[in-house]
Amino acid sequence: MPYVEGQTVHDADSHVMELPGTINRYLEPGFRAAFVEKTGRKDVLPEWFAKAAAQQEDPEFRAGAEANILLRKNYEALGAFRADDRPKTLDHLGFASQLVFTTAALSNFGLEQMGEVELAIEAARAHNRMMTEFCAVDRRLLATGYVPLIDRSRAPQIAREAIALGAKALIIPSRHPPGFSPSHVELDPLWAVAEEAGLPILFHVGGEEKMHHDYIENGLPFVKDFHGGDENFTSLTFMAIPLSLWQTLSALVIDGVFDRFPRLKFGAIELGASWLPSLMRFLDSGVAAFGREERLQKLSARPSEILRRQLRVTPYPHEDTRWIIENSGEEMCLFSSDFPHIEGGRNPLKRFNDALQGVSEPVRRRFYRDNFIDLMGRGLDPALHDLPELAAA
């Protein structure tokens, strides 16, 4: 019996848990040595990961996959890194479709911040080959392709390559590229590629500028994250997640990118959404305060209305989703599971249902189905809009 029954639910956030060394094999051979040198990512499988891979071969362990579909996390989850298992994962979950993101390459390995332009571009292309191959096993799996903005002239070509490979959405970092704004006019050909293809531009956690390390130096014992390490988020560093996105969205709206490409949709994935109502109102306030600027006078509508038209976001399950919807717009929020990451929890449907208590059925349907279809455009086959049994009803 699937986790979701009797309704169509699209999952706007899921992940591959790549085993170490996976990305290396998708790099062009001439770049592999330099990639290892700059990132430290070797094509080796340490003992712990080898055990995780072997566990997925154990018939007894695999026999419990359906019963534990949302209980087993990370490398223990069915379909976490074996593409052939992922269709069965979707059968057990019951989602009509699932956007699929990397885990290891969310920041493009920091190569853009290092100024390693050629390596950054090759790593992005390798990522796109890896993700589209993984998702090719089932049309319900919607591959995401990464487009670094560090080289404005080559960004459109990388986007076209990703789309030709089968990417159904394009990811860009939420932090600004080194030396210029994401609203730079020379990036217009990139937005044109996505708009013409009918595919969205996405931001995902990991592509933002992290909180400066000095904030962590407080004279108190070091706080580990809930994974037990120091590379993820704590209650303090979590606060910086939307700051880069806030600035990038502001630049894209104020500098007219949204208006120049009015059919282009943007999605903010795993970046939370409690910030959204404030951003919308703060942008409107900025326009009111600086309304004499020529660029503001050219806007097609208030910034909040422009965002409502073109931006979609995924709240975290611990946020007050109903409040976010009521204070932003019923067309803006999307369901996400974060499968198979621990952060997604063991029962995301229940948590969001609890958060949506009191909303109307049309609003609930928008959250689980309609807004995702709107975001994905031609990236989602119309045959996947509803589960087969519901489409036939």
Instruction: Summarize pLDDT for 82-135 with one digit per residue, the tens.
Output: 999 999 999 999 999 999 999 999 999 999 999 999 999 999 999 999 999 999
What is the CB neighbour count within 10 angstroms for residue 365? 14
Domain ranges of the chain: 10-205+241-391
What is the CB neighbour count within 10 angstroms for residue 107? 18
pLDDT band at 251 (very low <50, low <70, confident <90, very high): very high
* CATH match of 10-205+241-391 with 3.20.20.140: yes
Least confident range of 109-118, 213-222, 231-240: 231-240
In whole angstroms, what is the distance from residue 300 CA to residue 216 CA?
Answer: 42
Instruction: Summarize pLDDT for 134-179 with one digit per residue, the tens.
Output: 999 999 999 999 999 999 999 999 999 999 999 999 999 999 999 9
What pLDDT is attached to residue 230? 58
In whole angstroms, what is the distance from residue 307 CA to residue 205 CA?
Answer: 19
- Write the DSSP string, 234-298: -TTGGGGTTHHHHHHHHHHHHTTHHHHSTT--EEEESS-STTHHHHHHHHHHHHHHSTTSHHHHT
What pLDDT is attached to residue 379? 98
In whole angstroms, what is the distance from residue 170 CA to residue 190 CA?
Answer: 10
179's tokens: 């030396």
Q: Which residues pair with 205 in a beta bridge?
A: none
Find, among 145, 152, 154, the residue nearest to 172 by Cα: 145
Average pLDDT along the chain: 95
